[in-house]
Amino acid sequence: MTSGRSPKFRPHSTGHAAPMGTGAGASRIILTTRVDATSYGEACDLIQSWAEAQRSCYVVAANVHVVMTADQDTAYRTIVNQAALVTPDGMPLVWGLRLLGIAQPTRVYGPDLMLAWCQRAEVVGLPIYLYGGTELTLQRLTAYLRQRFPGLTIAGSHAPPFQPLTAAEEAADVERIRQSRGRVVFVGLGCPKQEQWMHRQMGQLEAVMIGVGAAFNFFSGEVSQAPRWMMGLGLRVGSTDSARNPGGCGGATCSTTRCLCCALARRSYSAGDGTKAARRPPEPESPQD
């Protein structure tokens, strides 16, 4: 497989590089949610193979809020666990993977994954589509991406209204994306709305959908990301998705991180040595199927 890597972007990772054998094929259940041990390069390889095969699937960048919400909401848990790839977006999940037997897990942060894929797409020629935010956000985001990745093809963009869409409106949005021939759709609706939307489009869009939360707001310059040193400690200030979805699952606050760590400790203690609590989900279908 052609990697198409370019030196323009160096994704930030506060974990260690994942060794062979602990990549996208290695998964663990954290509380009740599947999280895949992967890296930026491996994730982009998978996205490329799925996009080239026109496979309809979605990627979830799971932070603490995603995992805690899924633990409490059965329907949302099902949606997350049916994703083709669930990346460890936050350091608490990297720590959880390590606790559950992954030797050197790597953080794969949603906004950095977006940039890593745009870099890859610029080289391999796969067009992207931007769905979410506001019209102004999309204008600024498009300008940023075109400046940073001049060869990137942005097939289109659309900012849906904040209120729930009717079935006809959602169908029109899907048809607009389909007509654009975008092969990777970045979805910036905030958690849990973006995961719910991607799940509904399974089989409707022959594209890889990636939920990136507040990345649209970050790269449009509307919202500042937390300092990298805070991310490395598993801390993020407030709700990073608040600009798009005030009630959604934004950055992991100290309280939710503590809740996750306590829950992991309790369940690992109950399992004996921690690794017994790990369960492997069914292997995802082959991209060529």
Half-sphere exposure of 207 (CA within 13 A, CB side): 28
5 in a structural domain: no
3-state class (DSSP) for residue 258: helix
Whether 9 is covered by a domain: the verdict is: no
| Torsion 173-188-6-98 (CA) sign | negative
Specify which of 18-27, 125-134, 277-286 reaches the highest per-range mean pLDDT: 125-134
Q: Is the pLDDT of residue 286 over 90?
A: no
Comparing 62-76, 126-140, 181-195, 241-255, which segment has the lowest mean pLDDT?
A: 241-255
Report pLDDT digits (tens) over 35-80: 999 999 999 999 999 999 999 999 999 999 999 999 999 999 999 9
Q: Is 90 exposed, middle or buried (0-12, 13-18, 19+ CB in 10 A)?
A: buried
Distance from C-alpha of 1 to C-alpha of 49, rounded to nearest angstrom = 8
| Percent of the chain whose pLDDT exceeds 70 | 69
Dihedral sign of CA atoms 229, 233, 235, 236 in order: positive
What is the extent of the structural domain holding 230? 26-271
pTM here is: 0.78
DSSP 191: B
Task: Tell me whether residue 2 is in a domain.
Answer: no
Question: Does residue 232 lie in a domain region?
Answer: yes
Q: Which amino acid is at 4?
A: G
Q: Has residue 15 been placed in a domain?
A: no
* Among the listed residues 54, 58, 44, 67, the one whose alpha carbon sits nearest the alpha carbon of residue 113: 44
* Burial of 135 from C-beta contacts in 10 A (0-12 / 13-18 / 19+): exposed
Whether the pLDDT of residue 253 is over 80: the answer is no
pLDDT of residue 18: 33
Report d(CA 29, CA 42) in Å as an integer. Answer: 20
In the chain, the number of structural domains is 1
pLDDT, one tens digit per residue, over 216-250 is: 999 988 876 655 545 555 555 443 333 444 334 44
CA 199 to each of CA 28, 83, 118, 276, 282: distance values in angstroms, whole numbers, following the listed order: 21, 8, 23, 30, 18
User: Is residue 200 in some structural domain?
Assistant: yes
- CA dist 252 and 30 (Å) reads 16
Q: Which residues pair with 209 in a beta bridge?
A: 58, 185
Count the neighbouring beta carbons within 10 Å of the beta carbon of residue 225.
20
Q: Judge whether 59 lies within some domain.
A: yes
Alpha-carbon gap, residue 285 to 126, rounded angstroms? 22
